[in-house]
Structure 1
Amino acid sequence: PSRESTYFLLDEIHVMKEWQLQLKYYIDAHAKCRFIISGSSKTLLYLDASESLAGRIRFLDVFPLTFREFLEFNNIDLSGMLPQKPDLEGFEDIEKAYHSIIEHKQSILYFLSQYFDTGGYPEWFKIRDMEQWYRTIVEDYFALILFKDIVSVFKVKDPILLEKMVRDIAAVSTNRFTYKGLSERLDIDRETLKLYLYYLQSSMMVFVADVFAPSKKA
């Protein structure tokens, strides 16, 4: 018999009841098998596996396409335009790269705008219709992450307030905010605000970049 392991690829595994215990059984039995699991509910996967499969599982976050990958999906390959080991002292390689890329300037700028609008999701290339894409984002992704992921996993007491908070943050995306200002605008106490913000960050629905401000006393 072969000593090689058999690989099982299981998608949306979080919908299976007590999936982590079933995987733990095979792992602890030293069965000749390996499991590659995936699911749309990142928060639920982490929550279910963090205790039962501690030390037995490794997580890998899969993000949307980078802009370079997005260009490749649109048949623009930058690898042939950019030097592998650029000579930064003479600027010759930089000049060559500039002249190679400038020919595609308009296309690159067009796809950059498209990249921002679509978020770099590969599913865009199946749809390629902006109106339908916005419906997909709102109806599918937004509802899935907010209600099936965050609300159900963290037992959120006020889903309507959470949705209002998400829409408010999305409307001022990339802008600075303070907990005080946001709590007053949403009419919510700061502790609840911080808790809900933690839920959103845990599910990767929002990313918060703290602003460093040196102390005036220093």
Structure 2
Amino acid sequence: MIRPREIYEKIRPYFDSPEAIIVTGMRRTGKTTLLHLVFDQIKSKNKLFLDLENPLNRKYFEETNYDRIKVSLEFLGIDFTGRPFIFLDEIQMVKNLPSVLKYFIDHYHVKFFLTGSASFYLKNLFTESLAGRKYIFELFPLSFREFLLFKESALRIPETATDITRPIYEAIRPLYDEYILFGGFPGVVLKSSAEEKRKALEEIFSSFFQLEILQLGDFRRNDVIRDLMLLLIQRLGSRLDIQRISKELGISRPTLSEYISFLEGTYFIKRIRPFSSGKDTEIRKMPKVYVCDTGLANHLARLDPGSLFENSIFQNLGLKGELNYYQKKGGTEIDFIVDKSQAYEVKVSPQESDVKRLRSMAMDLKLEGFKVVSKNYSDLENVIYGFML
């Protein structure tokens, strides 16, 4: 049974557009499943699905003579006298693919649906060759609402925090605890036992390291980038001090910056930049770092509940818009600001003083609104729960 993702409704309006559809994101987030779902929804019989992790399928696109590629696609059943729909999974495996796609879009009006797990590659190579010929969508681990659908839960989260009574909260809490602890990778969510979930997380990390770090990254010091990944997990939610980390790992700052950019470009981490308000008291330079999935982070580093909860809020708020954080030199901070307008402060058990402080800072920064995000039950005003995002 294929469970549709929220992103599917965003992609569907572009099924018949001339542009290529590219779905990118961390490995094992469900890109291939989504591609199969879209393939099944295309009514035309003039369609083809190829997995480019299969070396035999890659060979079709490695020809320098594009007419020979056309012959191969005709051999596989594509009719170029009508409109073809071609689905290619894991396109980062074929380095010359962007120019091939451009040729077939321009000459034969082929509709391409593509997936890839390395955004740094896709964005760099596709920017020029497919300018004006593509739409890029990013697929992330499950939101909590998607998690409930995958768990086949009948629970429906109330829209307002005042409607969440303690019995409703207690009914949601076990599922939310599981979501935070084991994360939102679909293959992990669908496992029944904790042991199966841990094995699935281990396999996801091993696959990422083997296919992204060792094969795609081609770094000279794979042991250093491994240590960097573990170090960043242990410091999630903290400001990224490049000088200090470079000394700890014994590598230069340019090399460290290259490694961090690669990890972000393959969706393992995400850097959150400071909010710019023009005030001298703002800490401007250092981004904060978060990990793609709480389950993966906890599996690799065994983090404290507060850090895991904050990372989970990052994952779900990141689906709503651009994220920044704000921190004064004195240490007072706002964890997340969405689209430079809505402030969110994350607290496992918020106090009235947390609400007052956030209200004051939001007003000072002239933000449109604010909420304190709680994990535990609370009856305070301007407090919502993480599972409501």
1:119-139 deviation digits (Å, cap 9, x = unpaired): 212222332333233333233
What SS does the aligned partner of 1:114 have? Answer: helix
RMSD: 2.9
The answer for the alignment partner of 1:7 in structure 2 is 85
What SS does the aligned partner of 1:207 have? Answer: strand
Which fold has the larger relative contact order, with Cα–Cα distance below 8 Å and residues 6 or more apart in sequence? 1
Aligned residue pairs: how many? 198
Structure with a larger share of its residues in helix: 1
Structure 1: gaps (5+ residues): 84-93
Q: What is the rounded CA distance, in whole Å, between the counterparts of 1:161 and 1:111 in structure 2? A: 36
Q: Does 1:98 align with 2:164?
A: yes
Structure-2 change in CA distance of 1:180 and 1:19 (3 Å) = closer
1:7-46 counterparts in 2 under 5 A?
7-16=85-94, 18-29=96-107, 31-46=108-123
The answer for the alignment partner of 2:227 in structure 1 is 164
Per the TM alignment, residue 108 of structure 1 is displaced from its structure 2 partner at its CA by: 1.8
Q: Does 1:122 align with 2:122?
A: no
1:122-157 deviation digits (Å, cap 9, x = unpaired): 222332333233333233x32333442245444422
Per the TM alignment, residue 110 of structure 1 is displaced from its structure 2 partner at its CA by: 1.5
Structure 1 length normalisation: TM-score? Answer: 0.74
What SS does the aligned partner of 1:208 have? Answer: strand
Residue identity opposite 1:64 in structure 2: P
User: Sequence identity of aligned pairs in percent?
Assistant: 24
Structure 2 length normalisation: TM-score? Answer: 0.45
Residue identity opposite 2:266 in structure 1: S
Q: Does 1:49 align with 2:112?
A: no
Per the TM alignment, residue 177 of structure 1 is displaced from its structure 2 partner at its CA by: 4.4
Q: What is the rounded CA distance, in whole Å, between the counterparts of 2:127 and 2:214 in structure 1? A: 19
1:48-67 counterparts in 2 under 5 A?
48-67=125-144
Task: Point out the more displaced range, 31-40 or 160-169.
Answer: 31-40
Structure-2 change in CA distance of 1:76 and 1:176 (3 Å) = farther
Q: What is the rounded CA distance, in whole Å, between the counterparts of 1:145 and 1:208 in structure 2? A: 19
Per the TM alignment, residue 169 of structure 1 is displaced from its structure 2 partner at its CA by: 1.5
CA contact (8 A) 1:4 1:32 kept: no
Q: Does 1:73 align with 2:139?
A: no
Per the TM alignment, residue 206 of structure 1 is displaced from its structure 2 partner at its CA by: 0.9
Residue identity opposite 2:235 in structure 1: V
Structure-2 change in CA distance of 1:208 and 1:136 (3 Å) = same
